[in-house]
Structure 1
Amino acid sequence: MTDTDPEYEKHGGFPVFESADPGPGFEPFVTGMRRLQDLAVSADPDSDTWVEAAERVAELVALLEPSVADEGAAPAGRMPSMPGAGNLLMPPFRVTKMAPDGVELTVPFSRFHVGGNYAVHGGVLPLLFDSVFGMVIHAGGRPISRTGFLHVDYRKVTPIDTKLTARGWIREVDGRKAFVNAELRDPDGALLAEANGLMIRLLPGQP
């Protein structure tokens, strides 16, 4: 792709995302932060404990704030060996297939993702599907693209603390447009949600 489009890596100012090597502390840090996210929305301690927790969080912020880096330089999202690629925005998925005919991942949601009645919040699933669409475009050898639209149909309640399977594939290509599909299933194969969308290839210089 770079042979025919020398600006490929610069479309929209996208940084070149390469695997990071932050050292042995990053993975346990992210694991701990994922658990902390769960506790932040599920714990109900006394007021003194909240005060102490806030003080400890402030210490952590002060420790890390001097090291803020540009996009593409921080390791979050650049650790393919870690769940969710080390990105706390994403549920801790693991890619099990990355091929031109589609991608597959296992994905567990946790208490942090609950919308109500211990079910995954409906707004979390478009986030997952949009990420799957990006993986599908990359695996299919398509140039950098942005989402034109994303439609989700919710078929069943999506549970937490369950290893689910997400799949995505390119359905049709029309020039700069790639029409994509994705689905999320439970361990018994039941369809929980499905999505379809449009990914549009960026032209040189487009954001």
Structure 2
Amino acid sequence: MSETTESTAGDRRSDFPRFRPATPPPVFGEFVETMRHLQDLTVAVDAPADVYATALAQAQALVETLEPYDAPEGRGPAGRVMDLPGRGSLLMPPWRVEKFDADGVRARGELRRYHLGGGGVAHGGVLPLLFDDNFGMVVYAARRPISRTAYLHVDYRKVTPLNTPLVIEGAVQSVDGRKTLIRSKLMDEDGTLLAEGEGLMVALLPGQP
């Protein structure tokens, strides 16, 4: 079982929950990667009816296996396993953080078939997710107060390829009271700029969720 949330479901600045990193059984990482592969296949396969029927029955059996263990936010390990790609969350693309300090945050990974938009490249809506996650980590690494995204802007410079090593890095640009302005870049490994993101993160007041 993974670790539970902190007893103070927030800090003195807000009621936003802060969760401890989880330490699930080693098999959890393989489980998450298998589920990612299943996501890729779900949007990729073109199968006959009997194959879909077999897969449906197996998926329903998997739901029955897992459903008794449905847990509240912060109890399940997904999103709290820092050494797994995407922190073990299926919501996040499977990227690994390789730099995390007050000067900025850099992560590296790929987008997969699940993230296909059309024409063999990533869906444009996936990139704001990448940038928003980067903004949140930059705020935390810079030791700024817990904040929520007030503004997020993405400039698309080139199409973003699938199954290609990519890098995202961001840093604090300015601070004004509760406001933290962050700028980030998404690039391929050769440094070709694919997209730029700007986010305004606003620190929560006491009692704000």
TM-score band by shorter chain is over 0.9
User: In structure 2, how many angstroms separate the alpha carbons of the residues matched to 1:124 and 1:194?
Assistant: 13
Partner of 1:80, secondary structure, is coil
User: In structure 2, how many angstroms separate the alpha carbons of the residues matched to 1:117 and 1:29?
Assistant: 30
Deviation of residue 22 (structure 1)?
1.7
User: In structure 1, how many angstroms separate the alpha carbons of the residues matched to 2:75 and 2:172?
Assistant: 30
1:65-144 equivalences under 5 Å are 65-144=67-146
Given the two structures, how large is their TM-score scaled by the length of structure 1?
Answer: 0.94
User: In structure 1, how many angstroms separate the alpha carbons of the residues matched to 2:119 and 2:11?
Assistant: 44
Partner of 2:107, secondary structure, is strand
Structure 1: gaps (5+ residues): 1-5
Q: What is aligned with 2:175? A: 173
Deviation of residue 8 (structure 1)?
5.2
Q: What is aligned with 2:194? A: 192
Deviations 1:101-130 (A, max 9, x none): 100000200000000011000000000100
Partner of 2:72, secondary structure, is coil
- Which letter maps to 2:21? S
User: In structure 2, how many angstroms separate the alpha carbons of the residues matched to 1:11 and 1:22?
Assistant: 29
User: In structure 1, how many angstroms separate the alpha carbons of the residues matched to 2:189 and 2:29?
Assistant: 27
Given the two structures, how large is their TM-score scaled by the length of structure 2?
Answer: 0.93
Deviation >2 Å, runs of 4+: 6-16
Aligned residues: 202
Asked if 1:62 is matched to 2:64, the reply is: yes
Instruction: Indicate how the Cα distance of structure 1 residues 10 and 71 shifts in structure 2: closer, same or farther if over 3 A, else same.
Output: farther
Pairing partner for 2:156 from 154, 157, 164: 154
Deviation of residue 14 (structure 1)?
2.9
User: In structure 2, how many angstroms separate the alpha carbons of the residues matched to 1:153 and 1:167?
Assistant: 15
- Alignment RMSD, CA only? 1.4
Asked if 1:9 is matched to 2:11, the reply is: yes
Structure 2: gaps (5+ residues): 1-7
Partner of 1:9, secondary structure, is coil
Deviation of residue 148 (structure 1)?
0.5
- Work out whether residues 8 and 204 of structure 1, in 8 Å CA contact, stay in contact via their aligned partners in 2: no
Q: What is aligned with 2:54? A: 52
- Work out whether residues 154 and 197 of structure 2, in 8 Å CA contact, stay in contact via their aligned partners in 1: yes
Q: What is aligned with 2:5? A: none
Deviation of residue 16 (structure 1)?
2.6
Identity rate, percent: 52
- Which letter maps to 1:122? G
